[in-house]
Amino acid sequence: MKRRTKNLFLNWRIILLTLVLIGSIATLAVRPLTFGIDIAGGVAIVAQTEHPVDADTMQLVVDSLQKRLNTLGVKDITVEAQGDQIVLVKVANVTTPEEANQIKNVIESQGVFYMEFGGVIFGTGRDVEYVGIYQIKSDNTWAVPFRISKSAAEKFAELARDKAGWPVDMFLDPPVNSLIIVSESVYKTMNSSEFNAQAPEAPTLMERITKAFNITVVTYANQSADEIAKLAESKEKIVLVDVPQELQAELENVNVTVRFVPRNPGESDHSLIVRVLGLYGPYSVGEGLATGAPQQDVQITGTAPDRLTAEQEASTIYTVLKSGSLPVKLTVVGMEFISPRLGEGFKNQALYAGIGALIAVLLIVYFHYRNWRIALPVASTSLFEAIIILGFAALIQWNLDLPSIAGIIAAIGTGVDQQIVITDELLGGEKTTKITRRSSVLKRMGRAFFVIFASAATTIAAMSFLLVYFVGTLKGFAFTTILGVLIGIFITRPAYAEIAKYILGED
Amino acid sequence: MSKSKTKDIPTAGEAVRAKKRQKLSFLARMEYKKMITYPMVVFIVALILLAINFPTLGIDLQGGVVVTAYGIDANPDELAKYISDQIGVDVRVESFTGVDTNGVRVYAPVGTDALKIIDVMKVRYPDAEYTHSEVQPTFGKISQQQGIRALIFAFIAMAVVVFLFFRNLVPSLTIIFSALSDMTIAVAMMGIFGIQLTTATIAALLMLIGYTVDSNILLTTKLLKRKEDTIEDAYLAAVSTGFTMSTTTLGALFILWLISTSQTIDNIAIVLIFGLLADFMNTWMLNAGVLRWYLDRNTVRGGNE
């Protein structure tokens, strides 16, 4: 008996398990586990680019988002590209739903930026070389200084010569190449000199956007969906502004891209137009810029009724100019906010659920074999397996999210199954005579491990696709499942087989 | 140690095991025609159920807004009416209970402002803990496509591995069909119990591939490489092991479902429970029936491999 025990403890499989287990506990002690947003709290935002982009552009998007959120003072951010269209932004330490929404808005306001004069685009976001800190004076006028590229400055100087007081517009994500259907009053306002700064003789806003962005504006006069679709034939999309919403469904039925913009309660034509076009301005051209001499250092100024509004206006422009460098438009397509307090609850629950499941395994295995000497090793091997998976997760700083935890549970579930296969194979040999026992044990173990390897291989094969192809949260699930299965077949299952052989007197 | 002591090494109570086998022996006595017919009928019923009542898609697959409030007790219908009246958008409210907290989930269509719902709810429940998430339909579609792709690829990968391991057409196809039937039945049950198809439940279906193949591989290995005297003995040995495996897993999953209030974990647990129950039938009746029929036809090559 003593020699058997000694042999057991000197078996390399047991030694391996012990070492890995100690290593895992040590790792967990030194490097605590990190948890995903859905457990630790925070906001996870999925953004999608307007169209698929190449790897370089994607990297640019990721970098500029990161920079942007950093400058806004948001902490604990990870920005990660998945595939050619999806960007995943995770921000920890977000405590209120409002804060979460602000971050979402920031990401979404990252857009494509244009500077336009007289219907000609003289610069885009790429031409904004530097944005200075905005200033607000005591009379509530504000100024945002910035520098534009040499080519933009030259183009502008030529365009704006002798046109002091004319309007300069800036656009963030205007509906380029589209047909805009508007109500009559909106049409009138767009076609008037309301957006002409101090130059009634300048082209109207409508003329400017038509020339610059290939936007056609049409008044809604009960045209049928087919008629409208025909007008929009060469356009990318149709924007419906302040018209009956039924039109949207009708147009979608004839397979055109439609965006519906309703008028907010109490919203004026002016602010509705500004909102639809993503218009900032118009700003009037100062005397100094109308001389024909190119100037790279320029500034936008404005006056507000009070300091707070001035601050808001200035910071909006500041942000818009800063974000102008994004190469492609991003839309937030999904977001999830979990308050940290709740996350704490989830963490405890996962722990309780894990312990509860382990106890359930212990009791059920006991019930089947009526033998603690089988039930305890089975349950403790599963516990060891969980500790090793967690230790590994801590080692590589894997963020444990709920799907990852589900993966661990799945791995442990198959682990228990496989231990039962081993146990039953060993027990199945009770009838055999002593002489044939040894070889038969080997054969039966071989059979058990055939089952184990086959099912491990299928699980890994099935999950690896998930790991490679999927975006979003299921990666964590696949990762921990595969990790658990690997730890199972290389470390815990062989060790359990030795323990079981020892306990069942089969070695 | 004395000889008698060694003999006393407590193996599983043989009596317990014998009893279990006896209890399960009705399965061994069943004709294989019936063993194949019953699960096939269930599979077809599941297909019909799916055709008329496919599970609804969760917001992560079709888009929408959900606000969850923890720490409140509310009448869902009344709350839904209240919120709908206040924000002018139709919402659906679901309540849930957990070990340490109760709460509600408010589902609203795409484009609804989650913060508005929270504001309206805060009037009534200022102390609740709120979380919200929203998904645009475009992303829902991407997730849907990926989910389907993941399921198909995983299934094919599983099938290939099973073929490689057994290199035998009939047993491999049976295993693959069993897995397919398990998943189909699980999805049909989701439809019946109103469990939504989400990325989490797709994960659970993928997990099912791993779980269900386990018991099928066990059975196939035992029957094809059997050492026991008769097919019946081999079958009963496998069934008894499989029974232990399934009940253990089911027990653990049930506890998980009971304790967790996380919808993700709850749904994964419940779908796995459905799948494992289906698998019990598919492995020990369908797969066993086909294998016994197959072994009877191909007069077995003695006891050795």
The span from the CA of B204 to the CA of B206, in Å, is 5
Last-in-domain residue among B135, B154, B176: B135
**Environment class of residue B260 by beta-carbon count within 10 Å: exposed (0-12), middle (13-18) or buried (19+)?**
buried
Tell me the per-residue pLDDT of A415-471, one tens digit each, with 9 for 90 and over: 898 899 888 888 865 554 444 555 677 877 888 888 888 888 888 888 887 777 666
Contact residues, B window 186-215, toward A, CB-based 8 Å cutoff: 199-200, 202-204, 206-207, 209-211, 213-215
The span from the CA of B174 to the CA of B181, in Å, is 10
Q: Is A101 on the interface with B (CB under 8 A)?
A: yes
Is residue B224 located within the same domain as residue B272?
A: yes
Last-in-domain residue among B117, B135, B153: B135
CB A493 within 8 A of CB A453: no
pLDDT per residue as tens, chain B (305 positions): 333 334 444 455 667 767 777 777 777 777 888 888 899 999 999 999 999 989 988 888 888 999 988 888 888 899 999 998 888 888 999 888 766 678 899 999 888 888 889 888 988 888 888 888 888 888 888 888 888 888 888 889 889 999 998 888 999 999 999 999 999 999 999 999 989 898 888 888 888 887 788 889 888 888 887 665 677 888 888 888 888 888 888 888 888 888 877 777 888 889 999 999 999 899 988 998 998 888 887 755 444 43
Q: What is the CATH number of the domain that holds B104?
A: 3.30.70.260
Question: Which residues on B lie below 8 Å from A346 (Cβ)?
Answer: 262
The span from the CA of A198 to the CA of A283, in Å, is 9
Residue B6 located in a structural domain: no
What are the residue ranges of helices labelled H in A215-261?
A: 225-231, 246-253
**Hey, are the CB atoms on A465 and B12 less than 8 Å from each other?**
no
Q: List the single residue in B with minimal CA-CA distance to A41.
A: B131
Residue B192 located in a structural domain: yes
Q: A with B: how many residue pairs have Cβ under 8 Å apart? A: 265
Q: Who contacts A333 (Cβ-Cβ below 8 Å, separation ≥6)? A: A46, A47, A48, B135, B136, B138, B139, B142
Q: What residues pair up with A124 in beta bridges, in sequence order?
A: A114
DSSP B57: B
Tell me the C-alpha to C-alpha distance, in Å, between residue A24 and each of A39, A40, A248, A295, A481: 22, 22, 58, 63, 18
Nearest to B139 among A333, A373, A406 (CB): A333
What are the residue ranges of helices labelled H in B132-228?
A: 137-166, 169-193, 199-224
Among residues B272, B166, B256, the alpha carbon closest in space to that of B210 is found at: B272
Question: Which residues on A lie below 8 Å from B247 (Cβ)?
Answer: 364, 368
Mean of per-residue pLDDT scores for chain A: 84
Is residue B103 located within the same domain as residue B195?
A: no
Q: What is the CATH number of the domain that holds B166?
A: 1.20.1640.10
Tell me the per-residue pLDDT of A165-178, one tens digit each, with 9 for 90 and over: 899 998 877 888 99
Strands in A86-92's sheet, in edge-to-edge order, are A77-82, A86-92, A42-49, A330-338, B129-135, B64-70, B102-108, B92-97
Among residues B101, B112, B116, B109, the alpha carbon closest in space to that of B69 is found at: B101
Residue B8 located in a structural domain: no
Is residue B41 located within the same domain as residue B70?
A: no
CB B290 within 8 A of CB B219: no
Contact residues, A window 18-47, toward B, CB-based 8 Å cutoff: 38, 46
Phi, psi of A125 (to 5 degrees): -55, -35
pLDDT number for residue A75 = 66
Is residue B120 located within the same domain as residue B148?
A: no
Last-in-domain residue among B113, B135, B157: B135
Is residue B120 located within the same domain as residue B252?
A: no
Output the six-digit token pair for B261: 């209030």
Is residue B148 located within the same domain as residue B292?
A: yes
Q: How many domains does chain B have?
A: 2
Is residue B157 located within the same domain as residue B281?
A: yes
Q: What is the DSSP string of A357-424?
A: HHHHHHHHHHHHH--HHHHHHHHHHHHHHHHHHHHHHHHTT-EE-HHHHHHHHHHHHHHHHHHHHHHH
Q: Domains for chain A: give ranges and CATH numbers.
A: 2-37+340-503 (1.20.1640.10)
Residue B230 located in a structural domain: yes
Contact residues, B window 154-183, toward A, CB-based 8 Å cutoff: 154-155, 157-158, 160-162, 164-165
Is residue B210 located within the same domain as residue B233?
A: yes
Among residues A193, A144, A199, the alpha carbon closest in space to that of A167 is found at: A199
Q: List the single residue in A with minimal CA-CA distance to B227.
A: A444
The span from the CA of A388 to the CA of B222, in Å, is 31
Boundaries of domain holding B289: 23-57+139-299
**Hey, are the CB atoms on B251 and A369 less than 8 Å from each other?**
no
Is residue B107 located within the same domain as residue B240?
A: no
Is residue B150 located within the same domain as residue B290?
A: yes
Q: List the single residue in A with minimal CA-CA distance to B262.
A: A346
Q: Is B222 on the interface with A (CB under 8 A)?
A: yes
Q: Are strands A42-49 and A330-338 parallel, antiparallel or unpaired?
A: antiparallel
The pTM score is: 0.71
Question: Which residues on A lie below 8 Å from B261 (Cβ)?
Answer: 345, 349
Residue B304 located in a structural domain: no
Nearest to A458 among B132, B161, B245 (CB): B161
**Hey, are the CB atoms on A424 and B157 less than 8 Å from each other?**
no
Is residue B115 located within the same domain as residue B205?
A: no
